[in-house]
Amino acid sequence: MTDILKDIANGVMTITLNRVDKKNSITSAMYAAMADALEQAQNDAAVRVVVFQGHETIFSAGNDIGDFLNGPASTQESPVFRFLRGISTFPKPVLAAVCGPAVGIGTTMLFHCDLVYAGDNAAFSMPFVNLGLCPEAASSYLAPQLMGYSRAAEALLLGEPFMAEAALEMGLISRIVPPTEAAALAQRQAQKLAAKPLSSLIETKRLMKKGQVNIVAERMAEEGASFGRLLREPAAREAFTAFMEKRKPDFSKV
């Protein structure tokens, strides 16, 4: 599977989104590969830290829209839900290096990363409503918590993008650097973490997340059910068809 690259070195597993010609949009097979990689990372004592990265020009254009049209996720065992459960409950530190657009799950997966290093070209967006969908990855809970309700409403109801400076101010990301430096910085920080006592890292992360772990799991399941229903409704079909036909969607009849 070359759309997802996996590398393990010095205690760090690096997972690279590698489908740049399609803007690193994520197919079902890619979710499965990432879910498998996280499972391996959790169980393998040689892996102490995980880093996600994309390309200097694009982190991810979110879910593959062709996949949405052809085979929408239908059960909790679908690859996308396996991936979301994996990353949201992952016990060891998770980092991300994010440059360029981070759309949909490209942004919402970052709510579950511990440290995010962004290029100054990073642009975050959660345009679920524009696609006839609703939030996922517990972003309907985590975005208002992190951003405050008003800014979350701009991001989730209007689907407006926000840039690296805003993401830094709200605490979604840890630092902004030139795009050419984001991946290297994430690796340096990952190496620092990998040199620390793993049991202390795991316990500290568990304690920091303790207050929200049940809410996140419940919200993710509820969002998943709504998302699955909306995927099959006419508004979403129109949005996906319009994207494939490279035209603006017309929601006037749906």
Between 93 and 249, name the residue whose CB sits nearer to ligand COA.
249
The residue among 137, 103, 165, 133 whose CA lies nearest residue 231 is: 133
Residue count, binding to ligand COA (CB under 6 A): 15
The residue among 85, 19, 111, 91 whose CA lies nearest residue 50 is: 91
Closest separation between CB of residue 13 and ligand COA, Å? 25
Q: In this structure, is the dihedral angle defined by the CA atoms of residues 174, 17, 24 and 236, taken in order, positive or negative?
A: negative
Closest separation between CB of residue 28 and ligand COA, Å? 12
Closest separation between CB of residue 245 and ligand COA, Å? 10
Closest separation between CB of residue 173 and ligand COA, Å? 18
Site string (104-143) toward ligand COA, x via CB under 6 A: x----------------------xx--x------------
How far apart CA 177 and CA 188 sit, in angstroms, is: 13
Q: Is 179 in the site for ligand COA (CB under 6 A)?
A: no
Q: Is 23 in the site for ligand COA (CB under 6 A)?
A: yes
Give the β-pairing of 162-163 and 123-125: antiparallel
How large is the C-alpha radius of gyration of the chain? Answer: 17
Between 172 and 239, name the residue whose CB sits nearer to ligand COA.
239
146-175 residues near ligand COA, rule: CB under 6 A: none
Closest separation between CB of residue 42 and ligand COA, Å? 26
8 Å CB contact between 65 and 85: no
Between 56 and 114, name the residue whose CB sits nearer to ligand COA.
56
**Cβ atoms < 10 Å from Cβ of 67:** 20
Contacting ligand COA (CB under 6 A), which of 25, 78, 88, 140? 25
Contacting ligand COA (CB under 6 A), which of 101, 119, 179, 249? 101
What are the φ and ψ backbone dihedral angles of 42, each rounded to 5 degrees? -65, -40
- The burial class, CB within 10 Å (0-12 / 13-18 / 19+), for 8 is middle
How far apart CA 63 and CA 70 sit, in angstroms, is: 12
Q: Is 61 in the site for ligand COA (CB under 6 A)?
A: yes
How many helices (H) and strands (E) are present in the chain, helices listed first? 11, 9
Q: Is 22 in the site for ligand COA (CB under 6 A)?
A: yes
* Residues at the contact surface with ligand COA, assessed by CB under 6 A: 22-23, 25, 61-66, 101, 103-104, 127-128, 131
